[in-house]
Amino acid sequence: MEILDSSVAAEVADKLLEIKAIQLKPESPFTWASGWKSPIYCDNRISLSFPEVRNLIKDQLVKSVMHYFPEAESIAGVATAGIPQGALIANDLELPFIYVRSKPKGHGMENMIEGKVTPGQKVVVVEDLVSTGGSSLKAAADLKKAGFEVLGMVAIFSYGFDIASENFKNAGIKLICLSHYEALLPRAIKKNYISDETLKSLSSWRKDPGSWTP
């Protein structure tokens, strides 16, 4: 995983904290669907309700695609949160847009991919959030199965788990993120969202989220 730019990572982290798209509560952790206890909750869909933040994210994701994947011929959003971000990027770049479901539609054509499927087309995948990378990489695999050439993936935020880096490496998919957990913590301290006392606990969660306790 790479970040576009350290200053962008800091700015995006600041904005996500400011609009409460990211919340840090190590003393009262959230519970993920996996059962993991987490001191952080991230819902980047909230950014869509704030034009300034929405445009910041859109502009930087567009820049990421142009810099790392200039040969892109289409943009694919991962359902559901990657759909609006992907559509915004595709509109700016004047490229075709498609999106990938987590499972086939249960009626009609039962599509996994919505939009025009063009085998051989070079596509960049758009995610809002990357945790372990499982659902993101499944979407990339489904695109490949449909005949697309997947150039890589861009995302707003990543927790920076080692398992995610390993999964993307094994899949041969390049991941570019605007910001990540490592960039977030210093900003959270600077903005007084957390104290120095809680930093150690927050840092330990990222290293071993499965066994972390508050």
List, as residue ranges, the binding site for orotate: 131
- The annotated binding site for 5-phospho-alpha-D-ribose 1-diphosphate is made up of 101, 105, 107, 127-135
Give residue 63's identity as a one-letter amino acid code. K
Which strands form 113-114's sheet, in the order they lie side by side?
Answer: 2-3, 175-180, 149-158, 122-130, 74-78, 97-100, 113-114
- The annotated binding site is made up of 101, 105, 107, 127-135
CA distance 154 to 168: 12
Q: Which residues is 150 bridged to in the sheet? A: 123
Instruction: For residue 41, give both structure tokens.
Output: 């909750």
CA distance 52 to 54: 5
Burial of 15 from C-beta contacts in 10 A (0-12 / 13-18 / 19+): buried
Helix-, strand-, coil-residue percentages of the chain, each rounded to 5: 45, 20, 35
Burial of 199 from C-beta contacts in 10 A (0-12 / 13-18 / 19+): middle
